[in-house]
Structure 1
Amino acid sequence: MKMRKCLLLTMLAGLAACNTMNYQASAPTAAPELVAVLQDELKEIQDLKVTDEGYIDYYVWVPEGYQWDTHAIKKGGYEWACEDMINALRQGFVVRMGFKGKGGREEHYDFARCEQEATN
């Protein structure tokens, strides 16, 4: 019984440690006027939506039988959010990118995260 309890506590500690690795982006602070402008500018991009709250959402799915290359999507997600969309992040938007399906992940980027990762 004691061994089982130790194993359970070890597993819970491992899960808690994994959870602390996920970045928690701040809530968007973009002005409503800027949200409306960006919604209009990006409305033609497939799988991309700018919410009224100031999130820039991009979600794509991998076809069945395929798997995401996790290194490539992490690198590509960072480059798009922290390089291509950096001006929007400076204005208070938050990028939420989701690569759905096998091997996928979801990442959230705000200006603070991009600054932090640029110094690492």
Structure 2
Amino acid sequence: MNTVECHSLPTLLTRKRWTAEDFLRRVAERHRARGEGALAARKEKLSRWIAGTVPWMTAQLAMAELLDVDPHEVHQRGWPDWLLLAFCDDRTVLESPWTPVGTVKVEPRRGTSVSSRWSHRDGPHL
């Protein structure tokens, strides 16, 4: 499975109309304001996070603050699952393709099992 395809961060940035640089700059500002020191705001950092590198917890908490996600959820759900909580509507569910990649994107947000998305013989349901 292609990691970039199923990661919610690019979709989130698109929805917020932020470039990678915009997002990283905002996260770095929050990180510094939280007393955590400087955080590099280079695009390569975002690419590594999308490719599977887990950001430092201090960076994740700065992101959560920026995205208005409860820090408890960051610890509870882990990276990158907690990012789904930053979507403030059901568009992620409604616009995701009915494929394994789409299901991986949707199900952590709904809190149900992957099989529940395909539990009827007549086809997928929400």
State the TM-score, normalized to the length of structure 2. 0.28
Q: TM-score w.r.t. structure 1 length?
A: 0.29
Q: Larger % of helix: which?
A: 2
Q: Which has the higher strand share?
A: 1
